[in-house]
Amino acid sequence: MTMPDGTSRKTFIRTGAQTRELVEASLGARRRRELRFRLYGILAIFASVAFVVFFGYTIVKAGYPAFSQTFIQLEIGFDPAVVDPDGKRERQSLAGANYKKLVTESLLAIFPEVTDRRAKRALNGLVSSGVVYELRDMVLADPDLIGTSRKIWLPVDDEIDSYFKAASGAAQDAAAGRFKSEELEWIKRLQSQGLLELRFNRIFFTAGDSRDPEMAGILAAAKGSFFMLLVTMLLAFPAGVAAAIYLEEFAPKNRWIDLIEVNINNLAAVPSIIFGLLGLAFFINFLEMPRSAPLVGGLVLALMTLPTIIIASRSAIKAVPPSIRDAALGLGASRVQTVTHHVLPLALPGMLTGAILGMARALGETAPLLMIGMVAFVVDIPQTPLDPSTALPVQIYLWADSPERAFVERTSAAIIVLMLFLLLMNAAAVWLRNRFERRW
């Protein structure tokens, strides 16, 4: 036959039986290929699930002991002669009193045979050095304690904590090896008297960082992260959505807009430490904002998250069917009305999902925070976004760097807390999407 372009071809027609035969011959290979493809998929899923399970297992296994802490029950006599020698109950003198002596005395009441100074100091080492602050805070909160005697559970030193948690076997022997024989003797005696007990580690959730693992907590870091994300969300979400709406709905299609688009896409791929450098140069050195403040961290993370939010918001806007815009415009809605009444409500779930995923990435970001001084050792819990603070991932980094054995479990525990934060945010993203999603 003659083709439209003038060349001629042989007319090629098979019978039904021939066609069926040929198709059947090719079926086996096609089925095998499909099976193979499915198998690869299952293997890939299996491998990733296995990694996640392994990761979760090791982290939880290493981290869950940190949620409990060994406490020692001591009968503390708040001796007025020690706590309040002047008898005036002035805050300053109460705060400066020698609480260590109270602990020593109550320990000596349990071990009356200890007399020499060296042994006394070793005995004192059983209890965390942070307990003096705890006793001080108790007295400051309730000065009527002075003159009374209370049974109080106080955290023990981290080495004893490790020994007590390692229930038996080789791990306990290893932990025991770090004590002198008399110390081990004391511990065993306290244990047999039931004065040592594993209790919920509230310090971990209520304290800031500390050099003593048993007194270290993540609240300062968690609040720092919270303030930072707050600043990031408040800045990046409105700015990102506004930019996306302008670019999608209003911007003329010209070379400048193309250039801006390319740059936004590139910014999304810029290494985060560069944003940290920018924050250091601009916010801290030029605008002279405070160092180590969650405000600056939030600003930097907002800049980092902005491109992600713009890109996600733009694709959410693009996914709104053009027929909805036509319908609104055809009725005489202005462009702004079309966007705010129809496009935005339909695109919002996608925008929120993108924003929350961007925020989740910001939450886990460490590198830019190192540049703006949020890597500091922060004991006080920040009260505002301007107070010096650190962030969860930075806290993990700091603890992972610490030599004390007890920080190992706390590092993992902090990772668990961070993961819970992330899970919570992702769950919120899913919930928001399902809540606001509409079919059209």
Partner 1 sequence: MDGEKVSQQLETVGSPIIADPLITVRDCNVFYGDTHAIRNVTLDIGRNEVISLIGPSGCGKSTFLRCLNRMNDTIDSARVTGEICLDKQDIYDRKVDPVLLRARVGMVFQKPNPFPKSIYENVAYGPRIHGLARSRAELDDIVFSSLDRAGLYGEVKNRMDEPGTALSGGQQQRLCIARTIAVNPEVILMDEPCSALDPIATAKIEDLMEELSENFSIAIVTHSMQQAARVSQRTAYFHLGYLVEVGDTKTVFTNPLHRLTEDYVTGRIG
Residues that bind partner 1 (CB under 8 A): 252-253, 321, 323-334, 337, 341-342, 346, 438-440
Q: Which amino acid is at 28?
A: G
Residue 337: CB minimum distance to partner 1, A:
6
Q: Judged by CB, which is closer to partner 1: 59, or 251?
A: 251
Q: Judged by CB, which is closer to partner 1: 92, or 254?
A: 254
Q: Judged by CB, which is closer to partner 1: 31, or 335?
A: 335
Contact present, 121 and 100 (Cβ < 8 Å): no
Q: Judged by CB, which is closer to partner 1: 342, or 405?
A: 342
Residue 311: CB minimum distance to partner 1, A:
22
* Chain-centre distance for alpha carbon 283: 24
**Ordered DSSP codes for 372-406:** TTTTS---SPP-STTS----HHHHHHHHHT---TH
Tokens of 72: 């020692």
Scan for tokens 């670019």, then name that residue: 247
Residue 2: CB minimum distance to partner 1, A:
23
Residue 347: CB minimum distance to partner 1, A:
12
Residue 366: CB minimum distance to partner 1, A:
42
Residue 5: CB minimum distance to partner 1, A:
22
Task: Give the C-alpha separation, 366 to 312, whole Å.
Answer: 23
Q: Judged by CB, which is closer to partner 1: 9, or 438?
A: 438
Q: Judged by CB, which is closer to partner 1: 266, or 337?
A: 337
Residue 265: CB minimum distance to partner 1, A:
21
Q: Judged by CB, which is closer to partner 1: 327, or 423?
A: 327
Task: Give the C-alpha separation, 185 to 366, whole Å.
Answer: 44
Q: Which of 350, 332, 363 is nearest to 233 (CA)?
A: 363
Task: Give the C-alpha separation, 303 to 89, whole Å.
Answer: 52
Task: Give the C-alpha separation, 191 to 56, whole Å.
Answer: 33
Task: Give the C-alpha separation, 228 to 298, whole Å.
Answer: 4
> For the chain, what is the largest distance between any 2 Cα atoms, rounded to a whole number of angstroms?
119
Q: Judged by CB, which is closer to partner 1: 118, or 438?
A: 438
Residue 261: CB minimum distance to partner 1, A:
15
Share in percent of the chain as helix, strand, coil (round to 5)? 70, 5, 25
Contact present, 371 and 394 (Cβ < 8 Å): no
